Amino acid sequence: MSETNSKKIITDEYNSEFSYDENKSNLKISFERIAFIFFLFFVIAIIFSSKVILLSLEKKPQIIKLFKKDNFRSSILDKNENILAKSVQVTNIGINPNLVIDKQKLLINLKLLFPEKNFKKQMYEKKFFYVKKKISQEKLEKILLLGDKSFIQEENIARVYPNEELFSHVLGQIDNDNNGISGLEKTFDYELRVSKKPLKLTLDTDLQYLIREELIKSKNIFQNIGSAAILMNINNGNILSMISLPDYNLNKREEINDLRFINRATKGVYEFGSVFKTFTIAAGLNYNVIEPLTEFKNLKKRITCAGNLISEYDNKIPSDLTAEEILIRSGNIGSVRIAEKVGIENYDKFLKSIGILTNINFDIEEIGETQLGRWGKCKLATVAFGHGIATTLLQLAKGYSIITNGGFEINPTLIYKENKLKKKRILEKNLSKKINPILRKIVSTEEGTAGFANVNGYQIGGKTGTADQPEKGKYSKKKINTFVSVFPTSNPKFVLIVMLDEPKPNKEFIYTYRDGRAPYKGNWRNTAGWTTVWITGQIIEKIGPILATKY
């Protein structure tokens, strides 16, 4: 074999193992695999892209933003800067029934989420209805997971009251357009809209809560239809607590037309009875026609005026009394005799000076007006012991403050002010020094009518008042029981008035004494000494430590 042939054989062997055709076949197989993989990725991409497009086209719950500049209102704070009212962002969720595909299914789902509600009637009769206003985030998420396109979500600003009923009559309400319609929300509507600074009040949330709790307990004991209380600083007029029951939850924003929900502390006008005897004696002291120890001899048990009988509520009251004893024992006839010494002109002037016969310029508009009629001999006689004149609890608070604070004028207020007002004396300088010890004896002595309020350590003084309420031109058996307390009498700082509307005696209730006497069960008397005095004692036991440490 030649050298040439030998080389050819080698070349053929090379070509047989590494031929062009064989390499081409291998490249073809690799390309098909790669193409197949790309095809799979392409299909997957198409599927995901389609899903994204479909999701983007799907109708989600419609979101409507209802934010308006006027919807923002400044917060309202108490004296210690606790929030009483605040504007917050909330979500409301509603349904357009026309967009619901399966109403029965949706109703079942809603029932699971809101078992206390029934939406069936609304689902078939309304064009739109709210499922829940101010919905929680947890419930909102559950609703959105239903994936129903009929839901409509509103983003809004709402007014929230953390204490619900506690300050209802003071704060008042706003309407659905965010306008103040009562209370401070109405009076300061403009300021709350335009100012970024919160409105700070003189009220104390802790005191408000404690006093309200005792008033609620009183309803269970004495079955009264309503009640009210005012706690005020007698030296500057700052109101620390103002309550009227029944009250209502401000967060529900309900229209209230029931007269039972009237603000009894400021709007209700009542004949308060014997609490006016303090004004009668104070007027006598102010005009120097009597002194505390001025004697009144041979006081009758009953007198008549224009054919109407005026008698003592208790025949055991002695016929010979000093001026201070007349107040301590709550004598009717003695009060008439003092008023006669004062005279109509002076008594009218005195009652006007302490705010009883003048309208109070107050921070809320729900204010009642005194009802008196025309002065005359008989009118003077009845007003002397608190009948024939109807006024408000707020006016009582002002009047008692002035006669016990040294005779200085004050104006009740709910608005906290940094600047102190200059004091203006409007009554005789020594009047308070004479009247305060008498008020103390009404509580501290056995002859007084307010022994249940004698809480140790607080030097409480005050006056009871029990009055029949006029109805259809004559007096009914319905009572108003009131106790006005002032403390401490050695250096007065506070006036606390408690009033019960139509209380009933409780023959099963057990009264406990603070002086060690045995408990007393059962009482048939429907008088302030057995109702509002008892409640006042309970209140001062609770709030006294707070007042002693904070004020």
The CATH number of whichever domain residue 377 belongs to comes to 3.40.710.10
Quick one: 319 and 405 in the same domain? yes
Task: Choose one of 169, 201, 233: the last residue of a domain.
Answer: 201
Residue 70 CB neighbour total at 10 angstroms: 11
Is the C-alpha dihedral spanning 177, 183, 186, 189 positive or negative?
Answer: negative
Determine, yes or no, domain membership for 63: no
Regarding whether 281 and 165 lie in a shared domain, the answer is no
Is 11 within the bounds of a domain? Answer: no
| Domain final residue, candidates 178, 201, 224 | 201
pLDDT of 158: 85
| 44 found inside a domain | no
Kindly report the pTM of this predicted structure: 0.83
Task: Indicate whether 207 belongs to any domain.
Answer: no
Q: How many domains does the chain have?
A: 2
* Distance between CA atoms of residues 300 and 49, nearest Å: 104
Q: Pick the last residue of a domain from 177, 201, 225.
A: 201
- Is residue 104 one of the residues assigned to a domain? yes
Q: Residue 231's CB: how many other CB atoms inside 10 A?
A: 27
Distance CA 498, CA 367 (A): 18
Which residue carries 């005020």 as its tokens?
232
d(CA 242, CA 119): 40
Domain presence at residue 34: no
Name the DSSP letter for residue 497.
E
Regarding whether 239 and 159 lie in a shared domain, the answer is no
Same domain (yes/no): 226, 104: no
136, 269: one domain: no
Looking at the structure, do residues 364 and 505 belong to the same domain, yes or no?
yes
291 within domain boundaries: yes
Closest by CA position to 389, among listed 477, 279, 227: 279
The alpha carbon dihedral of 78, 83, 84, 88 has a sign of positive
The domain in which residue 477 lies consists of: 214-550
Identify whether residues 355 and 283 lie together within a single domain: yes
| Residue 50 belongs to a domain | no
CA–CA distance, 391 with 148 (Å, rounded to integer): 59
Are residues 228 and 190 part of one domain? no
Question: Residue 163 is part of a domain; what is its CATH number?
Answer: 3.90.1310.10
Residues 154 and 237 in one domain: no
**Are residue 182 and residue 240 in the same domain, yes or no?**
no
Residue 427 shares a structural domain with residue 334:
yes
Give dist(CA 89, CA 68) in Å, integer.
11
pLDDT in tens, the chain (551 residues): 434 444 343 334 334 443 444 444 454 556 566 766 666 666 676 765 555 454 444 445 565 655 555 568 999 999 999 999 999 888 889 999 999 999 999 999 999 999 999 999 999 999 999 999 888 889 999 988 888 889 998 888 889 999 999 999 999 999 878 889 999 999 999 999 998 899 999 999 999 999 999 999 999 999 999 999 999 999 999 999 999 999 999 998 777 777 889 999 999 999 999 999 999 999 999 999 999 999 999 999 999 998 889 999 888 899 999 999 999 999 999 999 999 999 999 999 999 999 999 989 999 999 999 999 999 999 999 999 999 999 999 999 999 999 999 999 999 999 999 877 789 999 999 999 999 999 999 999 999 999 999 999 999 999 999 999 988 888 899 999 999 999 999 999 999 999 999 999 999 999 988 888 888 887 888 999 999 999 999 999 999 999 998 88
Same-domain pairing of 310 and 182: no
